[in-house]
Amino acid sequence: MRRTLFEPEHEFFRDTVRKYFETEFLPRNPAWEAAGEVPREAWRAMGEQGWLCTLIPEAYGGAGVDERYAAILLEEQYRLGLTGPGWSLHSDIIAPYLLTYGTEEQKREWLPRMATGEAIAAIGMTEPSGGSDVKALRTTAKRDGNGYVLNGQKTFISNGSTADLVVVAAKTDPSAGARGVSLFLVDTSLPGFRKGRKLEKIGTHAADTSELFFDDVRLPGSALLGEEGRGFGMLMSNLPWERLIIAINTVAVAEAAMGWALEHVKQRQAFGGTLFDLQNTRFQLARCAIDIEVGHAFIDRCLAAQIERELTPEEGAMAKLWGTEMQDRVLDICLQLHGGYGYMKEYPISRLWADSRYQRIAGGASEVMLEIVGRSL
């Protein structure tokens, strides 16, 4: 079924991105996974192509285009199993915070360097004591003259070990609950900031995920992003789009898994024919194909709503929940169809299966998505 959201110019862009990723990044991915991070030259290469911070206006170094281009970059990255690079987090989640809430000085300082790949950005929300409950943060930013003193710890931070900038959520008024949360732009070269160990994960081995420590980090007043005490609302305002990003990934992952499974079962000989000759195999792949078509229809509709700034928190939650559960259904079927080969690391289906499980946790756990939808009924 043709995806009517995308025009011919978008499909031309998709073809260009796919060819570039296949030739320039896919062969390097094993080395990235072994190193536990994506090298800066890959970030700079993305910047040279103009594929970082595409949502940001040209005045700040971006492309100034709508979310369809960001979606294409996501889909082509994940369709190839390039699950490690944190380009979308940097470009589509963090950069819009600066654009929406930053001062002109903050925008000029960070956005052009983020667009070229010179500066890598991360966001520090999750703490050892909890992730989904942002109101329960323990990291504090106490007023000190014209600035703040930041103390605390973050964990599971994507882009954490390579970041030059971290958008940190901290309590400026611990007694005020959600109204006491503020956001800060933390330059990782500041004294008192320390990057912890890279965390060993089940999958996404090329994604540098780490702990971050803040020990009496002195921040100037100009490091405050937006207004003091408005951080929680700022974080919540962008969550529907952030969750849709994950949903977009899931359909691309499902497509990749089905493509590999289809190729395998049409070649694999068993019981006097190919695995594809068996009715059960065709039935299982039919379920996958239907899930993928439904996924495109629903998630493309959500993307259209996002472009018009009409995507609701409930719709973002629905997209993430449905997409991640669909993705894991398809991955499980497709790995099973590979038999023992599906459990071998040399087969991309095994790596994608391991890489994708976290998406039912990241960006708000599935249980939180159900609660958001349930409360809206």
Separation of alpha carbons 215 and 191, rounded Å? 8
Separation of alpha carbons 258 and 118, rounded Å? 36
Residue from 324, 342, 202, 158 nearest 253 by CA: 324
Backbone angles phi, psi at 151, to 5 degrees: -140, 140
- Rounded (10°) angle between helices 279-307 and 67-79: 150
Cite the active site residues: 242
- Which residues does 191 contact at the CB level (< 8 Å), separation at least 6? 217, 218
Q: HSE of 26 in the Cβ direction (CA atoms, 13 Å)?
A: 14
DSSP code at position 199: P
> Residue 58: exposed, middle, or buried by beta-carbon count in 10 A (0-12, 13-18, 19+)?
exposed
Give the end-to-end CA distance of the chain in Å, rounded to a whole number: 31
Q: What is the residue whose two structure tokens read 């992003």? A: 225
